[in-house]
C-alpha cells in the first residue's frame, strides 16, 4: 500500500526558509523510474507543480521558482525534502508530495497535504 | 510553459445528467493530459491518465477524449458523490501545469 505524508512548520515569518518533509512507504525511491514531486495549492486556488526528484537523484524544478527551491532525498530513500528560501505571503498554501514516474508525470498517489501559513 | 485553459469554472447539474469539461493547451501535448477529482478538504485523486486511460477502480462513467491541444472530460449519469472540483493537468513538459479547475455542484 502506497502512502505519503507531508510535515512542516505550520507557520513561519516572511523572508525565512520553509523546510518540508515527505515521508512515504509502499515504494522505494531507489527503484528505477520512481519520482516524488512537490505540488502546492493556495486556498481556493488551483495546483502548482514545484519540483521533483527521481530515483537517480536527478532534480527538476519549476523555472518560475527555481532560484528559491531545493529538493533532496535521504539515503534510505524513504523521505524527500523541499526547501523554499525567502518565503512571503504568496507562499501560503497547502503543500503536497505525490508519486509519479520518470516516464509519466501524472501523480497517482498523493499525501494528505500540509498547510503552511506565511505571516509576520 | 504550456498554459492549460479549463472551462467552465463551475457547473450545476442534476443527478443523471452528463457533464462535460474542456481543457485547451497552448502547445501540442499529444495525449499527455490527466484528470483529477478533488473533494473538499482532500488531496486530488487521479481519475484518468495519459492516453485517456481510466485508472483502476474508477467507474466507467468517467471518460475523456482529445489529442494535441483540445481535450474533454465527461461524466455520464452524474451522481451526488461526484461533487467536487475537477482539474486537468498536462504531463508533456516542464513545468507540469494544471487547469484552473471546474467546480461541480449537484442540484
Partner residue opposite B101 with nearest CB, options A46, A63, A107 = A46
Interchain contact, A104 vs B94, CB within 8 Å: no
CB pairs < 8 Å spanning A and B: 52
B70-106 b/e with 16+ CB inside 10 Å = b? Answer: ebbbbbeebeeebebbbbbbbbbeebbbbbbbbebeb
Nearest to B75 by CA among B59, B61, B54, B60: B61
Per-residue confidence of chain A (120 residues) as pLDDT tens digits?
A: 999 999 999 999 999 999 999 999 999 999 999 999 999 999 999 999 999 999 999 999 999 999 999 999 998 989 999 999 999 999 999 999 999 999 899 999 999 999 999 999
Interchain contact, A110 vs B43, CB within 8 Å: yes
Nearest to A118 by CA among A94, A95, A90: A90
User: Best residue in A38, A44, A47 to probe B by mutation, most B CBs within 10 Å?
Assistant: A47
Q: Which residues of A make CB contacts under 8 Å with B?
A: 37, 46-49, 60, 62-64, 96, 98, 104-108, 110-113
| Residues B82-98: tens digit of each pLDDT | 999 999 999 999 999 99
Q: How far apart are CA A15 and CA A19, in angstroms?
A: 13
For residue B44, the chain A residues in CB contact (below 8 A) are: 47, 96, 107, 110
- The pLDDT value recorded for residue B70 is 98
Are residues B103 and B10 in contact, defined by beta-carbon separation less than 8 angstroms? yes
B30 part of contact set with chain A, CB < 8 Å: no
B97 part of contact set with chain A, CB < 8 Å: yes
Q: How far apart are CA B49 and CA A45, in angstroms?
A: 22
For residue A63, the chain B residues in CB contact (below 8 A) are: 1, 94-95
How do A114-118 and A11-12 pair as beta strands?
parallel
Give the gap in angstroms from C-alpha A65 to the nearest C-alpha of chain B. 10
Ranges of residues in chain B whose predicted pLDDT is under 50: none
Interchain contact, B89 vs A46, CB within 8 Å: no
DSSP code of residue B55: P
- The pLDDT value recorded for residue B59 is 97
For residue B45, the chain A residues in CB contact (below 8 A) are: 110
Neighbours of A7 (CB within 10 A): 14
Peptide bond into B8 cis (omega under 30): yes
Amino acid at each position: 500500500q502506497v502512502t505519503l505524508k507531508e510535515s512542516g512548520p505550520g507557520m513561519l515569518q516572511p523572508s525565512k526558509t520553509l523546510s518540508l518533509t515527505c515521508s512515504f512507504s509502499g515504494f522505494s525511491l531507489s527503484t528505477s523510474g520512481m519520482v516524488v514531486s512537490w505540488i502546492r495549492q493556495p486556498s481556493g486556488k488551483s495546483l502548482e507543480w514545484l519540483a521533483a526528484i527521481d530515483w537517480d537523484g536527478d532534480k527538476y524544478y519549476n523555472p518560475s521558482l527555481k532560484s528559491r527551491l531545493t529538493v533532496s532525498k535521504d539515503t534510505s530513500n524513504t523521505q524527500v525534502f523541499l526547501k523554499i528560501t525567502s518565503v512571503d505571503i504568496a507562499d501560503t498554501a497547502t503543500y503536497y508530495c505525490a508519486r509519479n514516474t520518470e516516464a509519466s508525470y501524472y501523480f497517482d498517489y498523493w499525501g494528505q497535504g500540509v498547510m503552511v501559513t506565511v505571516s509576520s | 510553459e504550456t498554459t492549460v485553459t479549463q472551462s467552465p469554472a463551475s457547473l450545476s447539474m442534476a443527478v443523471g445528467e452528463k457533464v462535460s469539461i474542456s481543457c485547451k493547451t497552448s502547445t501540442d501535448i499529444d495525449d499527455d493530459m490527466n484528470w483529477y477529482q478533488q473533494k473538499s478538504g482532500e488531496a486530488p485523486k487521479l481519475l484518468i491518465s495519459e492516453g485517456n486511460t481510466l485508472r483502476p477502480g474508477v467507474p466507467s462513467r468517467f471518460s475523456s477524449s482529445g489529442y494535441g491541444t483540445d481535450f474533454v472530460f465527461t461524466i455520464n449519469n452524474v451522481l451526488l458523490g461526484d461533487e467536487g472540483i475537477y482539474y486537468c493537468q498536462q504531463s508533456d513538459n516542464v513545468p507540469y501545469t494544471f487547469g484552473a479547475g471546474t467546480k461541480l455542484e449537484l442540484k
